[in-house]
């Protein structure tokens, strides 16, 4: 049987993960699931953990769910570690959103200054987890969902020197669904080629006979008469500039709006902030409702309310990747993994998010080749920004952090960069021992 440890088990997303394992139990017999959290998350772990136990019982499968605050106990001899923790919880996220916004910058959980600070808080913790894994489960796979997912994956590869890691995101899952919907085709009748980095990838769509359908999807989603589809709940389905996306000849991801439509997105964020608060504040309210539902001793299935979270359907990625590795399935999935030359425009050893064949030995990225200048310029800039952010997260070097801020297109350069950096270092200091 398979033993899995989930770090950040108190997450409100956990019922989705459990549902994914229940659905796949015949192929993927998970016999032990260890949900791990920390003191700050004790109550959440208790509530969602008991809900997980009821789900497993109702499904009638032979799987023990364990709840623990002792990570090392959980990691002993596991086959897979999945990570879905949030260092500093939602209050830290709200600071990541509010501080940049108060200086007229995008405030977002994985983009701009906020995303960089999430990396600063998270990377030391993931490297600590890797240290424990080397000792307690040296053959295990690390399936990372914790944001910023691409940078966290690269930190594990480069600084953790841990090869068996795969980073995940639910955006490609949603992109495939929306393309299939506008083309009025089944997902399995289409072929997708994704490449880029996490929250900044482009993709092409083909028919099974090889006909390219990308431009058709661009027109359907972003053409003059189109009503752009919602791909993830946390990003407004704002229209792109049609001539510009058309010129890409590839579909952008929803996060591209922060770079292609910065002014409109900032306006949108400020409006939302005044009406309902930042996304983190909205999520706090959704989460409170979810935990009220999870407390119901009769509830033994995933409630509808969970689909209001941006990460909805992430278990389709998380559970399927484990299934594909365990059963050596050769499924094509979009994952963060080592480039190895798949994208010619990026360093060989960095993490990229690309369509990959998943087998027992891991992810084999499908070659994408070179990008045209419009994509290449942004991609190379953002990858360099990521490299510096990861380096600053590991070393705590102030100048490196400032350099990363300077490169990030969502952070203006000069005194303003320093002001925001200093304010955020102070606001988050309890979670930044390296600085």
Query: Which spans of this chain sit near ligand NAD (rule: CB under 6 A)?
Result: 7-8, 10-13, 36-38, 40-41, 44, 84-87, 89-90, 109, 125, 145-147, 149, 168-170, 310-311, 314
Among ligand NAD, Mn ion, ligand G6P, none, partner that 303 touches (CB below 5 to 8 angstroms by kind): none
- Closest-CA residue to 1 (of 63, 92, 44): 63
φ/ψ (deg, to 5) at 206: -130, 155
Distance set, CA 304 to CA 181, 248, 332 (Å): 21, 36, 28
Q: What sections of 30-88 are H helices per DSSP?
A: 42-59, 71-75
Among ligand NAD, Mn ion, ligand G6P, none, partner that 268 touches (CB below 5 to 8 angstroms by kind): none
Distance set, CA 359 to CA 58, 97, 261, 266, 332 (Å): 32, 38, 38, 41, 9
Query: Minimum Å distance from CB 326 to ligand G6P?
Result: 24
Q: Does 312 bind Mn ion (CB under 5 A)?
A: no
Among 96, 109, 316, 386, binds ligand G6P (CB under 6 A): 109
Residue 432 and residue 425 in contact, taking contact as beta carbons nearer than 8 Å? yes
φ/ψ (deg, to 5) at 224: -55, -30
Does residue 255 carry a catalytic annotation?
A: yes
**Which residue of the set 255, 294, 314, 326 is catalytic?**
255
Q: Does 408 bind Mn ion (CB under 5 A)?
A: yes
Query: Minimum Å distance from CB 302 to ligand G6P?
Result: 15
Give whichever of 217 and 334 is closer to Mn ion, judged by the CB atom. 334
- Region near ligand G6P per CB under 6 A, out of 159-167, 168-176, 354-362, 368-376: 168-176
C-alpha atoms less than 13 angstroms from C-alpha of 390 in its C-beta half-sphere: 24
Q: What are the tokens at 398?
A: 């102030």
Q: What are the tokens at 144?
A: 């990372």
CA 305 – CA 271 distance, rounded (Å): 24
Give whichever of 147 and 337 is closer to ligand NAD, judged by the CB atom. 147
The SS3 call for residue 420 is helix
Q: Does 110 bind ligand G6P (CB under 6 A)?
A: yes
Q: What are the tokens at 128?
A: 């600590």
Give whichever of 175 and 343 is closer to ligand G6P, judged by the CB atom. 175
What pairing do the DSSP bridges indicate for beta strands 2-7 and 362-365? Answer: unpaired
Distance set, CA 23 to CA 17, 168, 315 (Å): 10, 20, 11
The SS3 call for residue 169 is coil
Among 277, 310, 347, 396, binds ligand G6P (CB under 6 A): 310
206: buried, middle or exposed (CB in 10 Å: 19+, 13-18, 0-12)? middle
Among ligand G6P, ligand NAD, Mn ion, none, partner that 408 touches (CB below 5 to 8 angstroms by kind): Mn ion
Among Mn ion, ligand NAD, ligand G6P, none, partner that 125 touches (CB below 5 to 8 angstroms by kind): ligand NAD
The size of the interface with Mn ion (CB under 5 A), counted in residues, is 5
- Region near ligand G6P per CB under 6 A, out of 111-119, 164-172, 322-330, 354-362: 164-172
Binding mask 221-240 for ligand G6P (x = CB under 6 A): -----------xxx------
Q: Does 311 bind ligand G6P (CB under 6 A)?
A: yes
Beta strands in 130-208 (DSSP E): 141-144, 165-167, 190-197, 200-207
Among Mn ion, ligand NAD, ligand G6P, none, partner that 411 touches (CB below 5 to 8 angstroms by kind): Mn ion
Give whichever of 81 and 404 is closer to Mn ion, judged by the CB atom. 404
Query: Minimum Å distance from CB 414 to ligand G6P?
Result: 29
Q: Which residue has the tokens 């990026």?
A: 346
CA 117 – CA 124 distance, rounded (Å): 12
Would you tell me which residues interact with Mn ion (CB under 5 A)? 169, 406, 408, 411, 413
Would you tell me which residues interact with ligand G6P (CB under 6 A)? 109-110, 147, 169-171, 232-234, 279, 283, 309-311
Which residues participate in catalysis according to the annotation? Answer: 255
């Amino acid at each position: 049987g398979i033993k899995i440890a989930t770090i950040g088990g108190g997450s409100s997303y956990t019922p989705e993960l459990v549902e994914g394992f229940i659905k796949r139990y015949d192929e993927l017999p998970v016999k032990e699931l260890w949900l791990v959290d920390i003191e700050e998350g004790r109550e959440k772990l208790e509530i969602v953990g008991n809900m997980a136990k009821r789900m497993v019982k109702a499904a009638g499968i032979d799987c023990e769910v364990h709840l623990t605050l002792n990570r090392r106990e959980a990691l002993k001899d596991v086959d897979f570690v999945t990570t879905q923790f949030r260092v500093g919880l939602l209050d830290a996220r709200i600071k990541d959103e509010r501080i940049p916004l108060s200086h007229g910058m995008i405030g977002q959980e994985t983009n701009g200054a906020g995303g960089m600070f999430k990396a600063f808080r998270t990377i030391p913790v993931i490297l600590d987890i890797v240290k424990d894994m080397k000792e307690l489960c040296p053959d295990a796979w690390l399936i990372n969902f914790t944001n910023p997912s691409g940078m966290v994956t690269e930190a594990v590869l480069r600084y953790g020197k841990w090869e068996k890691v795969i980073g995940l995101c639910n955006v490609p899952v949603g992109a495939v669904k929306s393309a299939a919907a506008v083309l009025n085709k089944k997902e399995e009748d289409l072929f997708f080629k994704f490449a880029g980095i996490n929250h900044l990838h482009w993709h092409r769509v083909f028919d099974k006979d090889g006909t390219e359908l990308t431009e058709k999807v661009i027109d359907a989603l972003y053409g003059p008469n189109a009503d752009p589809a919602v791909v993830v709940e946390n990003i407004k389905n704002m229209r792109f500039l049609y001539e510009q996306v058309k010129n890409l000849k590839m579909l952008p991801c929803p996060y591209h709006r922060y770079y292609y439509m910065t002014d409109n997105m900032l306006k949108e964020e400020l409006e939302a902030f005044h009406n309902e608060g930042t996304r983190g504040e909205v999520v706090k309210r959704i989460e409170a409702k979810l935990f009220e539902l999870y407390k119901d001793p009769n509830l033994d299935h995933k409630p509808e309310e969970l689909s209001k979270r941006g990460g909805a359907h992430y278990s389709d990625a998380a559970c399927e990747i484990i299934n594909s590795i365990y059963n050596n399935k050769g499924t094509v999935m979009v994952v963060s993994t080592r480039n190895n030359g798949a994208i010619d425009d990026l360093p060989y050893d960095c993490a990229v998010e690309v369509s990959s064949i998943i087998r027992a030995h891991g992810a084999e990225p499908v070659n994408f080749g070179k990008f045209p200048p419009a994509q290449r310029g942004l991609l190379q800039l953002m990858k360099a920004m990521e490299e510096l952010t990861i380096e600053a997260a590991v070393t705590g070097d102030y100048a490196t952090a400032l350099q990363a801020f300077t490169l990030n297109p969502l952070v203006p350069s000069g005194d303003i960069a320093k002001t925001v950096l200093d304010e955020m270092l102070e606001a988050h200091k309890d979670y930044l021992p390296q600085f």
